[in-house]
Structures are given as structure tokens and as C-alpha cells.
Structure 1
Amino acid sequence: MPQVLEFKLPDLGEGLTEAEIVRWLVEVGDVVAIDQPVVEVETAKAMVEVPCPYGGVVTARFGDEGSELPVGAPLLTVAVGSPVESAGGGADADSGTEDSGSGNVLVGYGTGAPPVRRRRVRPEGLKAAAAVPVASVAAATPAPAPSPVPGPAPGPVAVVSPLVRRLARQHDLDLRRLAGSGPDGLILRADVESAIRSAAEAPGPEAAASSPAASPAADGERVALRGVRGAVADKLARSRREIPDATCWVDADATELMAARAAMNSAAGAGAAKVSVLALLARVCTAALARYPELNSTVDQEAREIVRLPQVHLGFAAQTDRGLVVPVVRDAHARTTESIGAEIARLTEAARTGTLTPAELTGGTFTLNNYGVFGVDGSTPIINHPEAAMLGVGRIVPKPWVHEGQLAVRQVVQLSLTFDHRVCDGGTAGGFLRYVADCVEQPALLLRSV
């Protein structure tokens, strides 16, 4: 006798309470294996694939692509048991026939069962499975019916890039009404941009209905604070509420640092990974934090204690199309400059593709913010709560500078340190910043801590 089990959106950890459905990976009638990813969702931390803890036949899906679901809401139902296997056409339809579920419902956890080939179930087998009552903890509350799919083309939309989906949402475009020009009808960014231009040139009834004249409350464009942008907004607001911060800054001559970097990369030879300025500054930060551990700490407000942390988990700000994220280089204090650079490169690529895991975005103890890449000289950054400090780095540009008693053109950078005034006073913060500036001006000082 088949049994239909309801799989709900699991607790994704790190205090996340909701997620947006980006792409369904299975359809109703597909056979799924235990711990096979069934849906791709976007949380406030990252884009992740959610594995289903049951093996069997998908009998229902809840939520359209682009919709947002709270943790605990139904995602799909799966029919498990021998009738499902026979409906699939053979014993190989499900690799987990003896164990209908892994019991693992957190992203990143699973039994590691190999994925099986997706196959369609015969209609009679699916109907028989769907007729069985759902066995769920929340059986007393009937699961909502799947939302109707708008447009003439029901089912998953042929879109791979979440950037394309975001662009369509911003312009209220129904992707199901677009014909993709990519392979197998894949909808590309050019297709969405073409539809946006067409809508602007010849607005139809839908555009008129959504115009400010028809909607008095629409005074301007409204952008929802959710996902990554919403999480950043909440964290920054909390930092401003809870942390009494102060900022100090200094200009430094980075000419010798740039020359040292050029020498490192030249000596590495062709094909070797280049050492970035950010990696060098990260290594400087770890050396400075070893001298001034007060800044590698957090404040336990309830216990009214400052907690000085033994490891340096260095975060660095990375701007992506999904918003600002802060990936974390674990144990940066135990890494070489080359190792730090390689990890920064890996995390930066993951940030751009939206594949950072929650673990790679949390647990930082100090943040390095290189806003100089945006062409600005200085800033007063907001501390990444619950950390105690952040070092900001402006652009490195040629400026007049007094060098060895003579006026010369040197490569100058502005460094700023925003710190929690509860963990230290200005003398400690100034000492940290001055040491960083000294290492920038004389990279040989770092040899003392190698």
C-alpha cells in the first residue's frame, strides 16, 4: 500500500525563516531518490539546492517559481512504497525501497545516495498513489493546493540564470510567455531585455492598469527588502542600533607594497596564480590582529563581557548582482598570503555565481572592505555585526607625497578603521591602524611575523 509523505521547506539554519523558489528540479510524476535535490531556493544567505529525505514518486508541488515560502510550508508530496515502484515500471525505479526516508532535512546533509535517472510514472500508478492520504506531522491541517500556473506554458520555465529571473521580476514580465532563443528554448537575458523594450514601446492594457494613474499608492518603484538585500539591511540596522562605533583613518604610501606585489608575481613565473592587493592586505590584517587581539572579538551583551576570539576568520566584502555579501576566509591567521589569495578567489567566484553556502557567509571575526575598487578614496564603513571592527581600503592612486624629504609622486591609499568603542579605546585602534599603514609602507615589516 503506497504512502504519501509531505516534505516541508526545512529549517535552513542561521536564523533563516523563508526562501524564494528559484527553480524546480523535479516535476509531478518524476521518480526521486532519497536525498535527491528537488528544488533550488534563494535564501538571505545563498542559492542552495534542497534535497528531499524521501524516495518515491512526486505527486504534488507547492509554490510557483519566484514565490516565497516560509520555513515549514509544504514543498511537495512523495508517494513511497511498493505500488510506486511497480508504477515506475520496475524495481530500479527507486534505489531506496527499504528505507523510505533519510530523516535528513537540512540543506547540505544527506546519506549521499546516488541520484537516479528521472522517469515519468504511468498515469494509473500516479493516480493510485495520489489517492492515498498524506502522512504528515501536520496532517490536521490540509496542505494548500498548488497555485495555478499563469500563462500558456505551464511547468518549469526554461531559465538557468537567476539574474534573468530577477530582471524579469523587476519589470513584471511573465517568463512563461516568452520564447527563448537559447538551446532547447532556454530563455536568455537578451530575450528578457527585448521583451522589456517591446513593452516600453507599445504598452498594453496590463501596463496601463499598473500605471501610477490607475494605482494611487504607486508613488515610485518599490523594491522588496528580501533575500540577500533584506538580510544585509537587517544586519546593518542592528549594527547601528547596538554598536557604539568610531572611525579613524590615515593616508599611507603604498608604493613599496605595489612594488613587492609586482616582484612576487614576476618571480612566480607564467601560469602561477597572481597575488592580489586584497590578499596582501588580508595578511597584513592577520599580523595586526595578532598584536591587537582586542579587535578580533565580540561583545556578549547579556553577560556584559568582551569575548576575545582565538582564531581569525577574515571576512571580505564582495559586491554581486544579488547584493553585498561577506564571504569568510577560515583560519586566515594560519594561512600564507598565497593561501589567503587562493581562498579569496574561490569565494569570490562562488559569490558571483550565487553558490556560497551559509557556512561560507557566517562566523567572521573581522572584516576587510576594499571599497577602492569602486573608485572612491575613503569611507566610514558600518561594522559587520557581531564583529568588533572593519578595515576599509580606498583606491590606490598617484599623489604628491613627501618621500625622504623630497616631494615626489607616490602611490597613496587611505585606510580607515571603524571599531566598537566598547572593546577598546582610541589608542588601541590607532595603534592597530598605524601598524597596518606601516606594513603597507614597508612590507618588510611582515617578515617579523612570518
Structure 2
Amino acid sequence: MNTTSGIHVIKMPDLGEGITEVELVAWRVQPGERVAEDQVLADVMTDKATVEIPSPVVGTVLALGGAVGQVLAVGAELIRIQVAGAGPGASSEMSAAASKVPQAMAPAAPPGITPEPARAPTPLDLVTPQATAGPVRSESVDAPTGVDKPIASPAVRRRAWELGLDLAQVAASGAGGRILQADLDAHVVAHGVGTPAATGAIAGAGVAPRHDEEQIPVIGLRRRIAQRMQDAKRRIPHFTYVEEVDVTELEALRAQLNAQWAAQRGHLTLLPLLLRAMVLAVREFPQINARFDDEAGIVTRHGAVHIGIATQTGAGLMVPVLRHAEARDLWSMAAELARLAASARAGKATRDELTGSTITLSSLGPLGGIVSTPVINAPEVAIIGVNRMVLRPVMRDGAVVARQMMNLSSSFDHRVVDGVDAAGFVQAVRRTLECPALLFVT
């Protein structure tokens, strides 16, 4: 943090662990707003976790140093705050300090175009329109050059031109006198101009065509997910192996355990039973519980089984890690799963809770479908996908009987996992689930 005559320049702090840059995912304050000491100013995202940046001083926000979605280097200017009770010279000194903003904050002039003479930016110059999080409409308002020029988006102007309408004659209902698509529709109906197919309901449909569009910035966790998925699919030659599992006996056992022990030990879902089956299968196929450093060319097989649990949150997909599953019983895993899921969905998961997995389980529950092709959580070499459980007719001992069936769709890194090993691992999981007494074999 730098201080100059009542103006505090807060820079992006070093968050440790070798982090050199972060993404700005949300502003908690705006220029002109009073802030208290320790009040959260902004949320930034590292490779895994969202971190809150607090204010070390009391004062008034002068300028923001970046837009939501922008990547900031450690040490880059984050925000400027005028300290409460600053002297009368603070205002002029603010402008002088603002003129020293790094050039990276200002857009560069296109090649071949001479930039306008430099001027000292005001605090508003440091805040771009994208600084407010949320969807951005493509129908941006044209800046009027005169009081008589109608305000309308390019889409509205194009449609008006196609209809031969003078926008100056169209009554506007939008904010600030903005002409909307609905205003064109109303004008066409009132004055009988244009063609029904272009302006009103399509013949026989009774519903007017829509022309609105919405652009959603890919920022924050969604950007991280996109980058990791793209990198995993580009670098890892996936292959997926699907096997069906009869979980009738497993479900009967789960119901019996819950009836007897739920009040004292907690309720069991299907996931702890699946995790236990994975732990037992890893003993037979340790090459599946591994991480591959493809740059160093080293596969590390882990004795500890740290299982990542793909969890859907309001912000996107997160993978909290259940550590040392090999040393837990069913109820311990159930309790830890519930805690991790609640922490992730509340946005409070720590970096330690989101890193270090050695194998991942992905389940969409009742939405799991019949077959899926899960993407490996690099640098791991395997991910186990759980599909929907359904009651199906199955042949048993020459008779058709109703059985609870479920598919496992699992993906593997073919660079280091052979097909026979992958199939053997899934079959080991299947044997345990179909004979659930094996879950308690140590």
C-alpha cells in the first residue's frame, strides 16, 4: 500500500504459493463510496480459490484499478482510497496521483492512428463499463450527438431501416428515451406500416419473433473451468470405459444401515459406498490412483487416496477433496462429504480443500443419464463417472426380474493407463458394489 498526501494506493498483495497473477471477479465497492477498515473491497480468483481483499484504511473510494474479468499481476494497482479527514490539498493531489496510473490501464491506440494529446485521467477514467459484473446486453445504447438524434441500438436501427421507418417518428419507452424493439412493433401496429412477418406475429403462430440477445462474460470460476477443461482435452488422450452395475443388494444394505444407524451416525447416501469401493479397487490397481507430470515425464502413484468430488455450485463446477479416504469408514466419509459440499456451495472452500486430489468422482445424481464421458481432472489419470440408477428388467437364473441398475462411465489417460488396467479397475469396483459385504473387508 502506498500513501501520498491522504491518498492510499492499494496494490494487489502477494497471496503466496508462487501466485503471480489473479483474476478480478467482483468489486464490492464503487467510486465515491465510504469504506471502513477491514471492509472487503474486491474478490479475486487464483487457480483454485476466491480470495477477499480487505481495506486497511477508512476513507472514500476514488478509483478502481481494473474491470471485472481482468487479470492483474501481483503488485498492480488495485484501488485508490482518500483517507478520511485528508487535508484540503487532497483533491489536487489525487489528480496528480491518478496521472501516474500505469499505461496498461489505458487502451493502446491502433497502429497508424495518432493518439490524442495526453491528459491527466479522472477517477472515472479508471473504471471501464465492464467493471460491473453480470450479463452484458449486445443492444448497447448509441451515444447521441445531438438532442434530436434518436437513441437506439444497432439492431433496432437496422430493423427500422428495413421497415422504412424514421426513428424520429417512433415513440420511445426505454430508459433515457431509448427506442426498443417493442416500440417499433407498437408503431407498426398503430400506423399500419411494415410487413407482418418482419414486425409482428408470424402468420398462424400467434407469437411475435424475438430479436433480443444476451452476452455473458466468461469470467471468474467459469473462466477457470473453461481453461482447465480445454487444457485437459487438448493434452490428455481420453478413453472412456462404461460398465453396468447391479446395485440392488447395495441399496438394500444402505437402507438397512440407515434404519439402524442414521440417528446415531448420520444418513448414508450412495456416494460413501462408491468411495469405499474405489479405495478397495485402488489396492489392486495402484496405477489408477496417480498423477502424471507430462512435462517431467513422471507418474506418481499415491498411497493416500484423496478423492475429488465434482460439485456443482452457483458459481460453477468445483472439486473439493475428501482426504485420506483409505482411512475413513462410511459414516466418516458421509460427514466429510456433507461438510465439503456445504463449504463449496457457500463459496467458503479453502485452497487446501480444493487441491491435492489423486482421483476424482463425478456424479449428477438423478440427472446422470445413461452414459457420460467425464473429462479427467488433470494431472490425475482417471475419473469415475456415476450415471442414473434405474429399475430395469434383467435376466436372473432364466427369469426376468426387476433390478436396480446403474452405469459407471469412467475416463482414463491413455498415455499412462492401458485399457486392460482401466477395465480391471472398473470391474473391481463393480464386484464390490454387487457383493456389498466386501465393503467391510479390510
TM-score, normalised relative to structure 1? 0.67
The 3 A distance-change label for structure 1 pair 242 and 448 is same
Aligned counterparts of 1:202 and 1:318: Cα–Cα separation in 2:
44
Aligned counterparts of 2:397 and 2:27: Cα–Cα separation in 1:
59
The 3 A distance-change label for structure 1 pair 173 and 312 is farther
Contact 1:48 1:357 in 2 (8 A): no
Match of 1:117 in 2: none
Q: Give the one of 276, 279, 293 matched to 1:300.
A: 293
1:335-359 CA distance string (max 9 Å, x none): 2222222222122223323333333
CA-CA distance at 1:439 after TM superposition: 1.4
Letter in 2 for 1:446: L
Aligned counterparts of 2:47 and 2:297: Cα–Cα separation in 1:
29
Match of 1:110 in 2: none
Aligned counterparts of 2:222 and 2:5: Cα–Cα separation in 1:
43
Q: Give the one of 390, 402, 405 matched to 2:395.
A: 402
Match of 2:370 in 1: 377
Which gives a bigger RCO, structure 1 or 2 (Cα 8 Å, sep 6+)? 1
Runs of 4+ in structure 1 off by over 6 angstroms are 130-136
Letter in 1 for 2:434: E
Q: Give the one of 251, 257, 263 matched to 1:258.
A: 251
User: Which runs of 5 or more residues in structure 2 are unaligned?
Assistant: 106-120, 141-171, 185-197, 199-210
Tell me the secondary structure at the aligned position of residue 317 of structure 2. strand
Contact 1:23 1:41 in 2 (8 A): no
Match of 2:195 in 1: none
Counterparts of residues 42-441 of structure 1 (less than 5 Å): 45-52=48-55, 54-55=56-57, 57=59, 60-62=62-64, 66=68, 68=70, 70-72=72-74, 73-77=76-80, 121-122=84-85, 125=86, 127=88, 141=102, 145-147=122-124, 166=134, 169=135, 205=178, 207=180, 221-270=214-263, 273-441=266-434
Q: Give the one of 7, 12, 20 matched to 2:10.
A: 7
Match of 1:178 in 2: none
Tell me the secondary structure at the aligned position of residue 24 of structure 1. coil
Aligned counterparts of 2:30 and 2:337: Cα–Cα separation in 1:
30
CA-CA distance at 1:230 after TM superposition: 1.6
Contact 1:312 1:366 in 2 (8 A): yes
Aligned counterparts of 1:131 and 1:265: Cα–Cα separation in 2:
70
Tell me the secondary structure at the aligned position of residue 415 of structure 2. coil
Contact 1:58 1:76 in 2 (8 A): no
The 3 A distance-change label for structure 1 pair 402 and 129 is same
Match of 1:116 in 2: none
Contact 2:384 2:410 in 1 (8 A): yes
The 3 A distance-change label for structure 1 pair 146 and 45 is farther
The 3 A distance-change label for structure 1 pair 22 and 56 is closer
Q: Give the one of 18, 21, 28 matched to 1:23.
A: 28
1:35-68 CA distance string (max 9 Å, x none): x64333466644431134x445456341588564
Contact 2:306 2:359 in 1 (8 A): yes
Aligned counterparts of 1:290 and 1:135: Cα–Cα separation in 2:
66
The 3 A distance-change label for structure 1 pair 141 and 395 is closer
1:262-307 CA distance string (max 9 Å, x none): 1121112447531111222122212222221101112222332222
Contact 1:11 1:17 in 2 (8 A): no
Q: In terms of Rg, which structure is larger?
A: 2
Letter in 2 for 1:248: Y
1:2-43 CA distance string (max 9 Å, x none): 66542123355667532222423997554525xx64333466
Aligned counterparts of 1:77 and 1:425: Cα–Cα separation in 2:
56
Number of residue-to-residue matches in the alignment: 357
The 3 A distance-change label for structure 1 pair 275 and 131 is farther
The 3 A distance-change label for structure 1 pair 2 and 149 is closer
The 3 A distance-change label for structure 1 pair 437 and 350 is same
TM-score, normalised relative to structure 2? 0.68
Q: Give the one of 27, 32, 36 matched to 2:37.
A: 32
Tell me the secondary structure at the aligned position of residue 13 of structure 2. coil
Tell me the secondary structure at the aligned position of residue 124 of structure 2. coil
Aligned counterparts of 2:31 and 2:324: Cα–Cα separation in 1:
39
Tell me the secondary structure at the aligned position of residue 394 of structure 1. strand
Letter in 2 for 1:247: T
Contact 1:10 1:71 in 2 (8 A): no
* Percent of residue pairs bearing the same amino acid type: 34
CA-CA distance at 1:315 after TM superposition: 0.8
The 3 A distance-change label for structure 1 pair 303 and 342 is same
1:394-447 CA distance string (max 9 Å, x none): 111101123355321010000122111222212211111011111111111121
Q: Which moved more, 1:385-394 or 1:309-318?
A: 309-318
The 3 A distance-change label for structure 1 pair 276 and 139 is same
Contact 2:22 2:45 in 1 (8 A): no
The 3 A distance-change label for structure 1 pair 64 and 308 is closer
Aligned counterparts of 1:128 and 1:443: Cα–Cα separation in 2:
77
Contact 1:318 1:326 in 2 (8 A): yes
1:79-103 CA distance string (max 9 Å, x none): 7xxxx7xxxxxxxxxxxxxxxxxxx
The 3 A distance-change label for structure 1 pair 419 and 59 is closer
Tell me the secondary structure at the aligned position of residue 368 of structure 1. strand
Contact 1:400 1:410 in 2 (8 A): yes
1:370-392 CA distance string (max 9 Å, x none): 13431411111111111100001
Aligned counterparts of 1:24 and 1:238: Cα–Cα separation in 2:
34
